[in-house]
Chains A and B, each alone.
Chain A
Amino acid sequence: MVKERATKLAAIGAIVASTLVAQSRAEYHFAVGPKAGISVSNPYGSISVKPSPDNRVVVNAVLHSDKVEVDRRQTGNRVDIQSHLLAGADATSGRVDYEVQVPPDASVTLHCSDGTLHAERLHGDVSLEGAGAAVDVRDISDAHVHVKTMNGTVTLSNIQNGHVEVDSLSGDVTLNGVTGPLVQVVSTSGRINYMGDFGNSGEYRLTSHSGDIDASIPEWTSADVSARSVRGEVHDDVPLQPKAHTWFPLDKGRAFAGTVGRVALSSTVVLRTFSGKIHLSKRSEKQ
């Protein structure tokens, strides 16, 4: 009995040891100038980008086997990092997890097919793309934020003065405190959840073909809102000043349009779905 247990423990130990041996770490440094361009492409694994304290790009990579290597190239003010899968690599052995520090004003482009993409505290343009990638972007200001996913979830938090475009086929999209001149989400079947005040004088267009759209706004919001579901339902818990004229039919329960707050500061908010539900609600919150 004791011998059998010892054998099992030895086997487990060997497996763990082989995993640890196969896993390796690498660190790369690049000196860049202002507004550098950083691109990271990683088929399997996560990419996390945070600001660096100086004009350096620091790449920490955890390679999960020797069947993958990190190709890197610097051309002037541009740094390209690419996970290079070698023969026989698969989703497990080809996995690389990156932690990247970039100057806050750098433009960042991240690609992965199935993993997580994360960027925070930057004010350069951010572009994230991956079929099954779960995307998490937070604390970005004065920048473009472009996201493309197939079924990965998308969470954007505290994006100020952003030019935000999210395209997702079936992944749910959550926007929390996202404002800017343009905020646009297009989805086929994903659910869209907006929590925020729609900023000032921006254009907000949230569209899902069959997914539900929920927008939750504080009392001080100023917005010119139109909502329409062709085959679904719309609900609003917000007192709107109805518009005298709309170019689409205001069928009860299928559409509403009106203004909330001060007209002069209003953003334009368009909520559209074909067969999903739309719900505009007010939440209590201190300014």
Chain B
Amino acid sequence: MTCVELQESLAEVEDGTTPEQRAHLRTCPACSALVNDLNLIITAAGGIQEADEPSPRVWNSIEIALKREGLIRPQRKAGSLAHLLFAGWTGRWLVPAAAMLLVAAGLLVHQRMQTTDVSERTAFTVPIPNPSDLNDNDLMQEVAVNAPTMRAAYEANLRQVNESIRDAQSMVDESPNDEDARRSLLDAYQQKSMLFELAMDRSLP
């Protein structure tokens, strides 16, 4: 059995390994390391709790962003996966990507706060240096191109939502156990994510 044959056969084996696979793994350190990594991933995945799942709104936002970029449009003509993924890889992609990143950042903050115990919460710090500045320039560039007449409105709203993120963050820092504070922070991130979505509104020219 070759390395390629082994890798192709991995997905087809549900319970353990075949004698051919075992023989190859004994003599091939690369494939052996790969199988070890896969086993680690499977084990870690089994430990993921249902509570760790993002809310449906998050998936909805991601779906909307992907649809707008045409990546999951069902009527699209068949093509290779690589083509589908990279055909639209221009600067425009940065905005929905940033929106998804924002949601992910908000979730990360929220989940860390949920899973951190009380003693740790007092020393909790968000692992993102300055999330409120994340990709703001990309957003404004997008607006300048797509909706120049609304640039001032976007700037004002961006400023307000950044302030709300800072306020909510300071509230969390002051009272790490405050559920309202945590929810406010998550809401603020989702509002900023929505701003990115609106900037990419498909009805824009």
Which residues of B lie under 8 Å from residue A130 when comparing CB positions?
198, 201, 203
Are B205 and A89 closer than 8 Å at their CB atoms?
yes
A132 and B156 CA atoms in complex are apart in Å by 13
Are B160 and A210 closer than 8 Å at their CB atoms?
yes
**Interchain pairs with CB closer than 8 A, number:** 106
Are A169 and B205 closer than 8 Å at their CB atoms?
no
Q: Shortest distance in angstroms between A269's beta carbon and chain B's nearest beta carbon?
A: 14
Which residues of B lie under 8 Å from residue A129 when comparing CB positions?
198, 201
- CB within 8 Å for A186 and B187 given contacts A131-B150, A209-B167, A230-B171: yes
Q: How many residues of B contact A (CB 8 A)?
A: 35
Q: Map CB proximity to A onto B153-165 as digits: 1 under 8 Å, 0 otherwise.
A: 1101100110110
Q: Map CB proximity to B onto A178-211 as digits: 1 under 8 Å, 0 otherwise.
A: 0000000011110000000000000000010110
Which stretch in B87-95, B128-136, B188-196 binds the other chain? B188-196
Are A43 and B167 closer than 8 Å at their CB atoms?
no
Query: In A218-261, which residues have CB < 8 Å from any B CB?
Result: 228, 230, 247-248
Which residues of B lie under 8 Å from residue A83 when comparing CB positions?
203
- CB within 8 Å for A131 and B153 given contacts A75-B75, A113-B204, A228-B180: yes
Is residue A145 contacting chain B, with contact meaning CB distance below 8 A?
no
**Cβ contacts A to B, 18 pairs, < 8 Å:** A41-B202, A43-B204, A85-B205, A91-B149, A113-B204, A131-B147, A131-B150, A131-B154, A151-B153, A151-B156, A169-B195, A188-B160, A207-B187, A209-B160, A209-B184, A209-B187, A210-B164, A274-B184
Q: Map CB proximity to B onto A153-197 as digits: 1 under 8 Å, 0 otherwise.
A: 000000000000101011000000000000000111100000000
A132 and B157 CA atoms in complex are apart in Å by 11
Is residue A134 contacting chain B, with contact meaning CB distance below 8 A?
no
A63 and B151 CA atoms in complex are apart in Å by 25
Are A169 and B160 closer than 8 Å at their CB atoms?
yes
Q: Shortest distance in angstroms between A196's beta carbon and chain B's nearest beta carbon?
A: 22
Is residue A120 contacting chain B, with contact meaning CB distance below 8 A?
no
Which residues of B lie under 8 Å from residue A42 when comparing CB positions?
203
Are B180 and A114 closer than 8 Å at their CB atoms?
no
